Amino acid sequence: MARIITIANQKGGVAKTTTAVNLCACLAESGKKVLLLDLDPQGNATSGYGVIKDKLNYCIYDVLINDVPVRQVILKTDVKNLWIIPARIELAGAEIELVNLDQRDKKLNHALKPIQDEYDFIIIDCPPSLGLLTLNALGAATDILIPIQCEYYALEGLSLLMSTLDRVKKGLNPNLNILGVLLTMFDARTNLSIQVVDEVKKYFRNKVFHTIVPRNVRLSEAPSHGKPIVLYDPKSRGADVYRDLAEEVLERA
Ligand code: ADP
Ligand code: MG
């Protein structure tokens, strides 16, 4: 059965999408069969794989709201062993439309059941909120990975995320495991980055991944070419770092 890893932090710009896109590619590169599920209406992970959204018949919205079977929505990517479920802007409406549905926070969990045996990993890229889309991702997941940007206010908002996780574990998904906390956009030249690493390690202890993602221009360029870093610039620092993360995820999972 697939490990379903939700990448979540209600803060925007902490590298959720960058991590989802590149962790997927590196796990696939290591021979695992991987599905990337874009659950952010912005569809940045979808664009990150060069998927032209206007040409799609369906996206994850149709699975959640119109009961389209999940298999019909899965697309092959240019990376061997890697498939994607795309998202488009209409997914923003699901946040509201889900409210009135039966088992509104379990929709994704039910939708993924038929394909869970077909992948080693399903990685879910969440929107920057703790609304019903993120709750659906947490309800479907076996694990959560929390990216934290090495910036001022890094820890702000995390207590809300942790209390949400507590609530999820008490009801929706008792077995949800915190796979790890990932420090991102580290800049070794600044004391601030170093301080944030210390603080996050004090708070999350052994949950923090040894791999720390540095600022790397190639990582920010890759999406505009519709490629993950291991295709865009396989020898870059960014590619190496996400390969290290994939190895750590394989050890922990
Ligand atoms: P989120 O999905 O949490 O909103 P993104 O993954 O979209 O965050 O990242 C926010 C911005 O930071 C994007 O423009 C992305 O290209 C850039 N970025 C992410 N990680 C890095 C990094 N390690 N080095 C440089 N830029 C990065
Ligand atoms: Mg994002």
Q: Is residue 134's pLDDT more than 90?
A: yes
Distance between CA atoms of residues 158 and 122, nearest Å: 24
**40 CA distance to ligand 2 centroid (A)?**
7
For residue 188, count other CB atoms closer than 10 A to its CB.
Answer: 10
What is residue 24's predicted lDDT score, i.e. its pLDDT? 98
Average pLDDT over every residue of 33-42: 98
Q: Is residue 156's pLDDT more than 90?
A: no
What is residue 154's predicted lDDT score, i.e. its pLDDT? 83
Residue minimizing CA distance to atom 27 of ligand 1: 220
Ligand nearest to the CA of 223: 1
- Say yes or no: CB of residue 149 within 6 Å of ligand 1: no
Domain boundaries, the chain: 3-252
Q: 85 and 73 in contact (C-beta within 8 Å)?
A: yes
Q: Is residue 42's pLDDT more than 90?
A: yes
What is residue 157's predicted lDDT score, i.e. its pLDDT? 86
Residue minimizing CA distance to atom 6 of ligand 1: 15
Ligand nearest to the CA of 21: 1
**Which among 18, 19, 148 is the best mutation to test ligand 1's pocket, defined by most ligand atoms within 8 Å of the CB?**
18
Residue keyed to tokens 């061997």: 80
- Say yes or no: CB of residue 185 within 6 Å of ligand 1: yes
- Say yes or no: CB of residue 237 within 6 Å of ligand 1: no
Q: What is the pTM of this model?
A: 0.98
What is residue 153's predicted lDDT score, i.e. its pLDDT? 84
How do residues 187-201 score in pLDDT, each as one tens digit?
999 999 999 999 999
Question: Which option is the CATH number for 3-252: 3.30.465.10, 1.10.3720.10, 3.40.50.300, 3.40.50.10130?
Answer: 3.40.50.300
Residue 241's region, left for phi above 0, alpha for psi from -120 to 50, else beta, is: alpha
Beta strand pairing status for 82-85 and 75-76?
A: antiparallel
Calculate what percentage of the chain has a pLDDT beyond 70: 100
Residue minimizing CA distance to atom 13 of ligand 1: 220
- Say yes or no: CB of residue 236 within 6 Å of ligand 1: no
What is residue 25's predicted lDDT score, i.e. its pLDDT? 98
Q: Where are the alpha helices (DSSP H) in 38-190?
A: 44-48, 60-65, 91-97, 107-112, 132-140, 158-170
What is residue 152's predicted lDDT score, i.e. its pLDDT? 84
